[in-house]
């Protein structure tokens, strides 16, 4: 049975299991191209992809650009900081302008939750949410799932511990959702201010690293402290204090490596806060695989979506 194409990819929750499986299996095929001398395929020749990033990004932006160019699409980066946005142009006016340029796909990142879906509602082009505020980051979740599926083709019963600032993390929202959907057990660890008792009651919550390690996770997924979203509220006393309680310190790393646990992080990493330097060269640290797999996943997503009124 063929699975109908979607116009937009805004979050994980509305995706059917078959849609998730389709993206993961297509990503595996695209990844097989990466070891070839010529990595490019003509799949999206003649299509135009536009990246519209209102928030900073290193890996997500370049990953989408590389993915689009490996599919032979033309790619334009709409530079918000040098555009009329700084002169006060609204999001919808900006989108209307971009619509007139007839792009096929818009990749959006914005600090406010809901902006990607707002744009999707007003645009003929496909929209991919590359992170909206605290809300969602679906391609990150797909690439994380893909990375773990390379290790365990079936995630049922695997235990994944997510550590850190859940409250402000779009990655945690999307990634915990996909891990759960794929059958993994997900637990979280962090200060009570960042993982309130009243939220996420379907997730197991730990308050100390010892308690969480005792649960015997297979994977520890570290989140970046979202400094830009903390405002002036003191969610925890200091970064040093955070590291002592919730970071992978030298001592914890020795235990984690001794037990052969996998470590993940969406990047960018704050060394000395979420983890110590030594983690970066640990052979079960999956950060580089996450980055590489991000390109394959984004190729699969760009290939899968279809703009409104497109004839092919």
> What is the layout of strands, in order, in the sheet containing 126-132?
74-78, 48-53, 105-110, 126-132
Site string for ligand NCD, 207-246 (x = CB under 6 A): -----------------x----------------------
Residue placing its CB nearer to ligand NCD in the complex, 114 or 267 = 267
CB atoms within 10 A of CB 91: 17
Q: How far is the CB of 108 from ligand NCD (least distance, A)?
A: 13
Determine if 173 is a binding residue for ligand NCD (CB under 6 A): no
**Contacts (CB under 6 A) with ligand NCD, residues 63-122:** none
CB-based burial, 132-147: b 16+ in 10 Å, e otherwise? bbbbbbbbbbbbbbbb
Two tokens, residue 170: 């779009």
Residue placing its CB nearer to ligand NCD in the complex, 70 or 173 = 173
CB atoms within 10 A of CB 79: 11
Residue placing its CB nearer to ligand NCD in the complex, 31 or 137 = 137
Determine if 175 is a binding residue for ligand NCD (CB under 6 A): no
Residue placing its CB nearer to ligand NCD in the complex, 213 or 291 = 291
Phi-psi region of 164 (alpha: psi -120 to 50; beta: other; left: phi over 0): left
CA dihedral 44, 45, 47, 48 (to 10 degrees): 100
Q: How far is the CB of 224 from ligand NCD (least distance, A)?
A: 3
Determine if 138 is a binding residue for ligand NCD (CB under 6 A): no
Question: Burial, 260: exposed, middle or buried (Cβ in 10 Å; 0-12, 13-18, 19+)?
Answer: exposed
Q: How far is the CB of 261 from ligand NCD (least distance, A)?
A: 21
Two tokens, residue 28: 């595996």
Determine if 267 is a binding residue for ligand NCD (CB under 6 A): yes
Task: Choose, by CB under 6 A, the member of 137, 149, 159, 173 that binds ligand NCD.
Answer: 137
Q: Which residue is nearest to ligand NCD (CB)?
A: 224
Determine if 247 is a binding residue for ligand NCD (CB under 6 A): no
Determine if 171 is a binding residue for ligand NCD (CB under 6 A): yes
Residue placing its CB nearer to ligand NCD in the complex, 249 or 267 = 267
Determine if 60 is a binding residue for ligand NCD (CB under 6 A): yes
Two tokens, residue 84: 């009329």
Q: How far is the CB of 20 from ligand NCD (least distance, A)?
A: 19
Q: If residue 98 lies in a helix (H) or strand (E), which one and from where to where? A: helix 91-100
Question: Whole-angstrom Cα distance, residue 168 to residue 140?
Answer: 15
* Contact (CB, 8 A) for 224 and 60: no
Q: How far is the CB of 56 from ligand NCD (least distance, A)?
A: 8
Match 């983690």 to its residue by tokens. Answer: 279
Find the distance separating the first CA and the last CA of the chain, reported in whole Å.
19
Residues of the shown chain interacting with ligand NCD in the complex, contacts defined by CB under 6 A? 59-60, 131, 137, 140, 170-171, 224, 266-267
């Amino acid at each position: 049975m063929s699975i109908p194409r979607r116009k937009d990819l805004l979050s994980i929750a509305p995706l059917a299991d078959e849609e998730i499986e389709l993206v993961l299996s297509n990503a595996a095929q695209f990844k097989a191209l990466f070891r070839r001398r010529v990595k490019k395929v003509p799949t999206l020749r003649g299509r135009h992809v536009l990246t519209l990033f209102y928030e900073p990004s290193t890996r997500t932006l370049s990953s989408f650009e590389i993915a689009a160019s490996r599919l032979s699409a033309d790619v334009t980066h709409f530079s918000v900081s040098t555009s009329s946005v700084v002169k006060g142009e609204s999001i919808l006016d900006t989108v209307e302008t971009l619509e007139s340029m007839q792009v096929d796909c818009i990749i959006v990142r914005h600090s406010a939750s809901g902006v990607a879906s707002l744009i999707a509602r007003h645009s003929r082009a496909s929209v991919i949410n590359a992170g909206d505020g605290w809300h969602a980051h679906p391609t990150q979740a797909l690439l994380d799932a893909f990375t773990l599926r390379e290790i365990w083709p079936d995630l049922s019963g695997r235990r994944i511990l997510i550590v850190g600032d859940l409250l402000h993390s779009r990655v945690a929202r999307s990634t915990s959702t996909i891990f759960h959907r794929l059958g993994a057990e997900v637990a979280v660890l962090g200060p009570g201010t960042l993982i309130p008792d009243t939220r996420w009651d379907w997730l197991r919550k730990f308050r100390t690293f010892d308690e969480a390690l005792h649960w015997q996770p297979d994977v520890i997924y570290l989140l970046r402290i979202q400094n830009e979203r903390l405002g002036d509220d003191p969610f925890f006393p200091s970064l040093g204090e955070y590291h002592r309680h919730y970071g992978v310190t030298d001592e914890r790393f020795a235990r984690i490596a001794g037990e052969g646990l996998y470590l993940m992080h969406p990047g960018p990493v704050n060394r000395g806060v979420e983890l110590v330097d030594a983690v970066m060269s640990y052979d079960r640290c999956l950060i580089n695989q996450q980055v590489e797999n991000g390109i394959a996943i984004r190729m699969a997503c760009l290939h899968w979506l279809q703009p409104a009124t497109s004839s092919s």
